[in-house]
Copies of this chain bind each other. A is one copy, B any other.
Amino acid sequence: MSNCIIAQSGGPTAVINATVAGLVKANQLNPYYDHVYGGLHGIEGILQEKFVDLTNMSEEENRILKQTPASALGSCRYKLKRDNVADFKKLIEVLDKYDIETMFYTGGNDSMDTVAALSEYAVKNGITNHRFVGCPKTVDNDLMHTDHCPGFASAAKFIASTALQTWLDYNVYTRQEVFILETMGRDAGWLAASACLSEHVDLLVLPEDEFNEEAFLAQVKEIVEKTNKCYIVVSEGVKYADGTYLAAKNAQNDGFGHAILGGAGNALKELILSTKTAERCKVQDLSTAQRAFALTQSLVDVEESYRLGMSAHMRSCDGKFTGKMVMVTRKPGEYYDVEFGAVDASEVANYVKSFPKEWILDNYRGISEEAKNYLRPLIAGTPTILMENGLPAYVKPYYMR
């Protein structure tokens, strides 16, 4: 008899629970594990033995879990420090106590570092009865090796839809107007770039490009003079050449040593108005909604997230799979298709996959056709969302039960 546990870490996405639903469903199709536990609030909850039993989840709950945004098991930003032996020992004790053979951990590169650290610790200490498997999720799409990350595409679809629809809105008056859409993206510009799928972004400001005020304002000026309008998309993580954030005034710290950003859009607005480059400027910061708005999930995204959970389960049934992150590889060919694979979590941990420089057009003029060809298939398809009283049905978070 053995069990498994799944826990979620880091920022939520619109499809993060689909991976949990897929894993639970896989174990119902092939009950390799006696129990599928959910660990509440990531590694923190596991250390405190805060579990729920997901083994016998009903088909209805499974279906609604797939469309419920935000970590239904709760999340944490707790980072297992490699020199904190007490935490490692405690965790192994808990896994022993509950006969947990495999721990699945969904998250970004910090979570993959946790998976790598735990599997290294197990190897080093001759622990063979516990295994650690990572499942990628991040709206930022900045994990290495995987073609893309579950969660990214639904956020991209929401961003591109909002860009398209607010572009239609800001055009209705004849007056001069600049619109700035701010997206998430601390280190990588994938989310901001996805707005270009609307085909209406005039200027795109990415963290991959050092921000140059003069060059940027010259572009705004040129476009406003020509069209009386300018639609700008900016990523929260844009920096000047000296490394300071455009939104530096608001910078704080989130405990992982990352700055908490926000306000790049307002910084651009101030720049544009104070230099009289344009008369009128509106900012929309998509904030939390861009990662939480599951009502418009991408079908590709939610199905891949689900299958990734299934694939993680199925791979783990060999009794050896550990220290790996399950990933998505795009198959070559005219039509979009993927296969699932695995990579050492240590090769993902603490790296960032930037938006490719060669996909960025000069003078903030957006992204190349190649970039759009990469992005476009990811936002395809509309899943059927079950509704209740006019709003999306959702599963009550397990940590609230």
Contact = CB atoms under 8 A, between A and B. Distances in A.
Contacts of A179: 288
Given A169-B70, A169-B291, A376-B389, A394 B164 contact: yes
A73 B396 CA distance: 44
A376 B394 contact: no
A109 interface: no
Nearest to A385: B382
A215 interface: no
Contact of A172 (B75, B165, B170, B197): B75
Nearest to A168: B70
A14 B164 CA distance: 12
A292 interface: yes
A391 B197 contact: yes
Interface in A62-80: 68-71, 74-77
Interface string A181-216: 000000000000000011000000000000000000
Nearest to A45: B174
A165 B390 contact: no
B390 A197 contact: yes
Interface stretch (A154-162, A232-240, A316-324, A346-354): A154-162
B392 A289 contact: no
Number of identical monomers bound together in the oligomeric complex = 2
A294 interface: yes
Interface string A272-305: 0000000000111111110111111010000000
A289 B165 CA distance: 7
B295 A296 contact: yes
Interface residues of A, number: 61
Which of A162, A198, A288 is most buried by chain B, counting CB atoms within 10 A of its CB? A288
Interface string A74-100: 111100000000000000000000000
Contacts of A176: none
A241 interface: no
A247 to B, nearest CB: 14
Given A69-B165, A161-B293, A171 B400 contact: yes
B400 A376 contact: no
B288 A12 contact: no
Given A166-B288, A289-B166, A390 B380 contact: yes
Contact of A160 (B172, B378, B390): B390
A381 interface: yes
A379 interface: yes
A72 to B, nearest CB: 8
Interface string A368-401: 0000000010111110010101111010010110
Nearest to A68: B168
Which of A68, A77, A162, A381 is most buried by chain B, counting CB atoms within 10 A of its CB? A162
Contacts of A69: 165, 168-169
Nearest to A294: B165
Contacts of A174: 41, 44, 74, 76
A37 to B, nearest CB: 18
A75 B173 CA distance: 5
14 contacts: A12-B172, A14-B165, A44-B174, A69-B165, A70-B169, A71-B172, A74-B174, A164-B391, A165-B292, A169-B288, A170-B288, A179-B288, A284-B285, A285-B285
